[in-house]
């Protein structure tokens, strides 16, 4: 299938999108978009949330039919009848939502719906396992083909999706935010896989909010804004500020912003905090008012568990004090009552009430404060919701809209805003900008500055180093369940932090944090 | 710190400064029946048809008859609405109602006063709710397993309690209060109908205007998000099953009053009718969505159909077929509405 010679410029491109428009009732999602993808090319599709990237990728993937315009595959005009038809043409979509069957084995997932048969028509299990092993070895994915997929990490599951795509003779991989739920290291590994595939002549259409990723892999970027094509530019030749300007249509200025904060007294003191499952080993950390402390580390390093333990969301031992008062660690309710608010990393799974309105998603954090004599003060609630929508810059036509109809950035502003309105002393934020576009990211950073200027403290747990470097006064780095490095001011360098995160550090700097 | 919700937060990025009080965007008031437009239309058409073809249909006597004969279903369905919104289901509802009826019957026939017997019945409902709720929320056993178990246990206890025979309470002095409660009218309006309205109003109040009710929706929508936002998930779930248990006790009392006897046999179609009414009313079996208003419509819809079949002298054997068809069609239409087949899609583009 990978017959097209990637160097042969005269051959018709693998995929041409010609003047495609697509409208949904009330919304023009795409307007006259033209795009060309050649074999072996990694093509970035960029733009803010709502710019039409996903709609375009769904048109290419056969999910949506264009209202106007058409697709050409190998120079032949095609009208895709559905995702299965796209698959027959070698177009495979991989999104952040995994489409694996969690209770089946790795091999069964790779060959889902196309299991090899014996001559009697039964599934040829031995052949399936052998074939899966070969594919996994080719991609050097270190997983047993008989493992149950649901027991594997998100990273490995994502790699298995890639393995499935590769083994199905894919010619065009569409990656829609495929790395957004991965740590930096796992994302890097995924990008390596992508690079290998493109070297073999497979084309990749990549949607990502992570700029460094696009610059690392892509050779071309197509920018969409409000459903229209803005430009197609070469990468990495086009500088990042220029690309961002094309995406948002304005200068973003300093992305991370500045703040004027005097560090105050110690507000949070954690001593020998450890989770019962051992993922977080006894860790001590002190945070002062007005401070943003970054928490770096790979997935499984214990950085996520630090957040969960402080929030009372996992079983943990040790002591945590806020303003000198001991915090109950047994439930999020107790942590909140002591002034620790927590925003989890997985918005969809742990933060949103998907079928409820914007208003109810705000108010779910405020129920205690909004009630009197057991009744909800509905008018106060409405007032506070309206004010929060404006204060946190949530774009929605009505507070009664379902939260699931909002873009990721706007959902995240609701999730952050509802806890910021509580006036807590400590905010533990896990991956607060995951899956959020550049414009909304920069809004969120400004909200963070604002909240510490008011005297709160923020513990910012993030897999994105640039974000930590841009926002934090101090960064602690987790490795194997404990803090192995602590950097402040001039010492905060990407390479030094990454070194500790990956290997535990060159040598331990005078026992930072841990006892 | 306190859970104060009034503290202002720093100036927003790119948002206009919040001016206190004024300037709220015009807001569409959400009706409690908002998701039930289809069922309202269906009910209106059905009533219109029956009003034309069956002259007796629109008489006050027939209308009150529909309400009264569906009171047991309504009371159970209100309890079931809480449970289903919270993401669970209570399979023991009908058995609990029967068990509570037996408690009342035994209480009255053993010479207890009316008030004591009624309190005992409510206590039995409360106890059933606590057992269901504690097993589900504190021991974390699946609600299907727990309520399937209590369904069977309560059904059997109801039979054991009086060796499987019906307790006639008609002659008893203490029963007269209950009897008049289910039979009498004030100015032509049955007391039981007024009672139904009061219970519905209380349920709406609890579900929509208390932190507890909001927590029920939050838990049904995403239990983990509810927990992380400081909601006491286990206690709320316990409360939900207690409400279901108390609803079963009320249903049992009404049942005894209307039959003038406590029958130990559980009506095999009752549970399914109750759940069907809740789902027809627009409450999602996946949890997090719905309301008591919709449930009232669902009960009325099934009740009116039943009434129409009786008036048209169609065999009652057809009742189950009609109920089943209505359930499937109503829920299918609800699903279609959510997936946007009948509605303009919201502007979700990205």
HEC string for A76-97: EEECCCCHHHHHHCCEEEEECC
CA distance A41 to A34: 16
Is the residue at A477 inside a domain? yes
pLDDT 10s digits, B55-79: 999 999 999 999 999 999 999 999 9
Average pLDDT of the residues of chain B: 86
Measure CA of the first residue to CA of the last residue in chain B; give whole Å.
40
Contact B286, A353 (CB under 8 A): no
Is the residue at B20 inside a domain? no
Q: Do B3 and A360 make contact, defined as CB atoms within 8 angstroms?
A: no
Picking from B2, B28, B212, the nearest residue to A400 by CB comes out as: B28
Q: Do A272 and A161 belong together in one domain?
A: no
Per-residue confidence at B29, pLDDT binned at 50, 70, 90? very low
Is the residue at B11 inside a domain? no
Residues B165-186: b if buried by 16+ CB within 10 A, e if exposed: eebebeebebbeebbebbeeee
Strand partners, A70: A18
CA distance B281 to B292: 8
Contact B206, B292 (CB under 8 A): no
Q: Which domain holds residue A126?
A: 102-165
Q: Do A440 and A299 belong together in one domain?
A: yes
Q: Do A139 and A279 belong together in one domain?
A: no
Tokens of B340: 């946007």
Interface of B with A in 28-57 (CB under 8 A): 28, 30
Q: Do A450 and B15 make contact, defined as CB atoms within 8 angstroms?
A: no
Tokens of A164: 């499935």
The whole-number pLDDT of residue B254 equals 97
Q: Do A368 and B230 make contact, defined as CB atoms within 8 angstroms?
A: yes
Q: Is the Cβ of B22 closer than 8 Å to some Cβ of chain A?
A: no
Picking from A55, A339, A408, the nearest residue to B1 by CB comes out as: A339
Q: Do A369 and B4 make contact, defined as CB atoms within 8 angstroms?
A: yes
Q: Do B217 and A367 make contact, defined as CB atoms within 8 angstroms?
A: no
Q: Do A157 and A277 belong together in one domain?
A: no
Q: Which residues contact A151 (CB under 8 A, 6 or more apart)?
A: none
Is the residue at A486 inside a domain? yes
Residue A7 has pLDDT above 70, yes or no: no
Is the residue at B285 inside a domain? yes
The whole-number pLDDT of residue A9 equals 54
Of the listed ranges B1-10, B91-100, B211-220, B224-233, the least confidently predicted one is B1-10
Per-residue confidence at A196, pLDDT binned at 50, 70, 90? confident
Q: Do A422 and B4 make contact, defined as CB atoms within 8 angstroms?
A: yes
Of the listed ranges A367-381, A485-499, B291-305, B327-341, the least confidently predicted one is B327-341
Residue B140, min C-alpha distance to chain A (Å): 16
Q: Which domain holds residue B129?
A: 34-338
Name chain A contacts of B284, Cβ cutoff 8 Å.
355
Residue the block writes with tokens 């069922």: B39
Closest CA to A402 of A356, A347, A348, A349: A356
Is the residue at B347 inside a domain? no
Residue B7 has pLDDT above 80, yes or no: no
Q: Which of A313, A315, A335, A387 to mutate: most B Cβ within 10 Å? A: A387
Query: Pick from A110, A144, A165: which residue ends a domain?
Result: A165
Picking from B213, B228, B284, the nearest residue to A313 by CB comes out as: B228
Contact A45, A205 (CB under 8 A): yes
Q: Is the Cβ of B226 closer than 8 Å to some Cβ of chain A?
A: yes
Q: Do A454 and B347 make contact, defined as CB atoms within 8 angstroms?
A: no
Residues A143-170: b if buried by 16+ CB within 10 A, e if exposed: bebeeebeebeebbbbbbbbbbbbbbeb
Measure CA of the first residue to CA of the last residue in chain A; give whole Å.
58
Query: Pick from A144, A165, A186: which residue ends a domain?
Result: A165
The whole-number pLDDT of residue A26 equals 62
- C-alpha separations of B180 from B116, B177, B258 in Å: 17, 5, 10
Give the CATH number, domain containing residue B162: 1.10.3470
Angle at CA A391, nearest 5°, toward A388 and A397?
65
Is the residue at B21 inside a domain? no
Strand partners, A479: A482
Closest CA to A246 of A211, A280, A212: A211
Q: Do A275 and A143 belong together in one domain?
A: no
Q: Is the Cβ of B350 closer than 8 Å to some Cβ of chain A?
A: yes
- What is the enclosing helix (H) or strand (E) of A500? helix A494-503
DSSP per-residue string spanning B210-279? SHHHHHHHHHHH-HHHHHHTT--HHHHHHHHHHHHHHHHHHHHHHHHHHHTEE--S--TTHHHHHHHHHH
Question: What's the domain count of chain B?
Answer: 1
Is the residue at B343 inside a domain? no
Residue A151, min C-alpha distance to chain B (Å): 20
Residue A485, min C-alpha distance to chain B (Å): 29
Question: What's the domain count of chain A?
Answer: 2
pLDDT 10s digits, B139-167: 999 999 999 999 999 999 999 999 999 99
Is the residue at A214 inside a domain? no
pLDDT 10s digits, A341-394: 999 998 988 999 999 999 999 999 999 889 888 899 999 999 999 999 999 999
Residue A329 has pLDDT above 80, yes or no: yes
CA distance A201 to A1: 10
What distance lies between CA B110 and its chain's CA centroid? 31
Is the residue at A362 inside a domain? no
Residue the block writes with tokens 């009255």: B108
Give me the count of residues in chain A.
515
Arithmetic mean of pLDDT, A321-344: 94
Arithmetic mean of pLDDT, B215-240: 96
Is the residue at B309 inside a domain? yes
The whole-number pLDDT of residue B338 equals 56
Is the residue at A410 inside a domain? no
Residue B215, min C-alpha distance to chain A (Å): 7
Residue B48 has pLDDT above 80, yes or no: yes
Is the residue at B16 inside a domain? no
Picking from A24, A227, A386, the nearest residue to B25 by CB comes out as: A386
Closest CA to B282 of B93, B84, B79: B84
Give the CATH number, domain containing residue A488: 3.40.50.300
Is the residue at A230 inside a domain? no
The whole-number pLDDT of residue A373 equals 86
Query: Pick from A165, A190, A207: which residue ends a domain?
Result: A165
Residue A28 has pLDDT above 90, yes or no: no
Arithmetic mean of pLDDT, A17-29: 83
Is the residue at A125 inside a domain? yes
Sheet holding A474-479, edge to edge: A340-343, A426-430, A457-461, A292-296, A474-479, A482-488
Decide the pairing of beta strands A15-24 and A68-73: antiparallel
Nearest CA in chain B to A453: B10
Q: Count A/B contacts: CB-CB distance under 8 Å.
A: 201
Q: Do A332 and B211 make contact, defined as CB atoms within 8 angstroms?
A: no
The whole-number pLDDT of residue A331 equals 94
Is the residue at A344 inside a domain? yes
The whole-number pLDDT of residue B23 equals 35
Q: Do A367 and B231 make contact, defined as CB atoms within 8 angstroms?
A: yes
Picking from B15, B228, B348, the nearest residue to A405 by CB comes out as: B348
Residue B171 has pLDDT above 60, yes or no: yes
Q: Which of A173-177, A213-217, B241-245, B286-290 has the highest mean pLDDT?
A: B241-245
Could you tell me where the DSSP H helices lie in A150-239?
Answer: 154-167, 184-199, 211-217
């Amino acid at each position: 299938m990978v017959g097209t010679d990637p160097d042969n410029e005269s051959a018709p491109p693998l995929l041409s999108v010609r003047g495609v428009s697509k409208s949904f009732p009330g919304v023009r999602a795409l307007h006259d978009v033209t795009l060309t993808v050649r074999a072996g090319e990694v093509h970035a599709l960029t733009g803010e949330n709502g710019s039409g990237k996903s709609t375009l990728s769904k048109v290419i993937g056969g999910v949506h039919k264009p209202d106007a315009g058409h697709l050409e595959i190998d120079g032949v005009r095609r009208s895709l009848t559905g995702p299965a038809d796209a698959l027959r043409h070698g177009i495979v979509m991989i999104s952040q939502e995994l489409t694996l069957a969690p209770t089946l084995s790795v091999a069964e997932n790779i060959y889902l719906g196309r299991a090899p048969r014996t001559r009697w028509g039964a599934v040829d299990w031995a052949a399936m396992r052998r074939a899966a092993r070969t594919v996994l070895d080719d991609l050097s994915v270190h997983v047993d083909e008989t493992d149950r997929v649901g027991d594997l990490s998100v990273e490995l599951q994502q790699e298995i999706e890639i393995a499935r795509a590769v083994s199905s003779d894919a010619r065009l991989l569409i990656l829609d935010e495929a790395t957004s739920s991965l740590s930096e290291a796992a994302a890097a590994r995924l990008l390596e896989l992508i690079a290998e595939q493109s070297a073999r002549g497979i084309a990749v259409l990549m949607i990502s909010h992570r700029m460094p990723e696009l610059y690392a892999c892509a050779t071309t970027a197509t920018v969409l804004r409000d459903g229209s094509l803005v430009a197609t530019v070469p990468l990495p030749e086009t500088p990042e500020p220029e690309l961002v300007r094309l995406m948002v249509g304005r200068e973003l200025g300093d992305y991370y912003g500045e703040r004027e904060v005097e560090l105050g007294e110690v507000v949070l003191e954690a001593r020998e905090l450890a989770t019962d499952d051992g993922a977080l080993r006894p860790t001590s950390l002190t945070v002062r008012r007005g401070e943003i402390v970054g928490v770096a580390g790979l997935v499984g390093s214990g950085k996520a568990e630090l957040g969960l333990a402080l929030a009372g969301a996992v079983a943990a031992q040790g002591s945590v004090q806020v303003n000198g008062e001991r915090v109950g660690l047994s439930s999020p309710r107790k942590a909140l009552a002591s002034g620790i608010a927590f925003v989890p990393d997985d918005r969809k799974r742990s933060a949103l009430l998907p079928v409820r309105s914007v208003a109810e998603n705000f108010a779910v954090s405020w129920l205690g404060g909004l009630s009197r004599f057991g009744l909800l003060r509905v008018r106060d609630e409405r007032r506070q919701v309206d004010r929060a929508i404006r204060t946190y810059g949530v774009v929605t036509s009505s507070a009664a809209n379902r939260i699931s109809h909002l873009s990721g950035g706007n959902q995240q502003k609701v999730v952050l805003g509802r806890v910021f309105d509580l006036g807590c002393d400590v905010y533990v934020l896990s991956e607060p900008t995951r899956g959020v576009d550049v414009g909304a990211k920069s809004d969120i950073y400004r909200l963070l500055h604002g909240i510490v200027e008011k005297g709160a403290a923020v513990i910012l747990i993030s897999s994105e180093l640039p974000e930590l470097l841009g926002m934090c006064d101090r960064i602690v780095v987790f490795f194997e369940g404990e803090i192995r490095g602590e950097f402040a001011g001039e010492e905060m360098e990407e390479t030094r932090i990454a070194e500790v995160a990956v290997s535990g550090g060159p040598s331990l700097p005078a026992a930072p944090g841990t006892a | 710190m306190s859970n104060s919700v009034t503290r202002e937060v720093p100036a927003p990025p790119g948002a206009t400064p919040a001016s206190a009080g004024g300037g709220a965007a015009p807001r569409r008031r959400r009706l409690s029946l908002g998701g039930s437009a289809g069922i309202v239309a269906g009910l209106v058409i059905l009533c219109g048809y029956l009003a034309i073809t069956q002259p007796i249909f629109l008489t006050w006597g027939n209308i009150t008859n529909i309400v009264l004969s569906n009171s047991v279903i309504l009371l159970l369905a209100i309890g079931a609405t809480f449970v289903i919104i919270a993401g669970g289901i209570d399979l023991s509802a009908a058995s609990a109602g029967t068990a509570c009826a037996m408690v009342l019957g035994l209480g009255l026939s053993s010479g207890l006063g009316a008030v004591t017997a009624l309190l005992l019945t409510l206590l039995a409902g409360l106890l059933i709710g606590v057992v269901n709720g504690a097993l589900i929320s504190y021991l974390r056993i699946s609600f299907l397993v727990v309520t399937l178990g209590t369904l069977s246990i309560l059904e059997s206890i109801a039979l054991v309690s009086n060796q499987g025979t019906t307790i006639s309470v008609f002659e008893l002095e203490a029963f007269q209060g209950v009897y008049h409660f289910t039979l009498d009218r004030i100015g032509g309006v049955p007391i039981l109908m007024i009672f139904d309205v009061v219970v519905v109003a209380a349920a709406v109040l609890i579900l929509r205007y208390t932190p507890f009710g909001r927590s029920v929706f939050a838990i049904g929508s995403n239990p983990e998000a509810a927990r992380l936002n400081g909601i006491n998930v286990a206690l709320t779930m316990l409360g939900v099953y207690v409400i279901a248990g108390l609803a079963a006790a009320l249903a049992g009392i009404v049942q005894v009053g209307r039959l003038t006897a406590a029958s130990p046999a559980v009506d095999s179609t009752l549970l399914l009718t109750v759940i069907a009414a809740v789902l027809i009313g627009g409450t999602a079996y996946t949890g997090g969505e719905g309301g008591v208003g919709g449930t009232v419509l669902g009960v009325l819809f099934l009740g009116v159909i039943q009434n129409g079949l009786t008036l048209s002298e169609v065999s009652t054997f057809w009742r189950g077929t009609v109920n089943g068809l209505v359930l499937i069609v109503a829920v299918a239409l609800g699903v279609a509405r959510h997936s946007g087949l009948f509605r303009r899609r919201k502007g979700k583009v990205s």
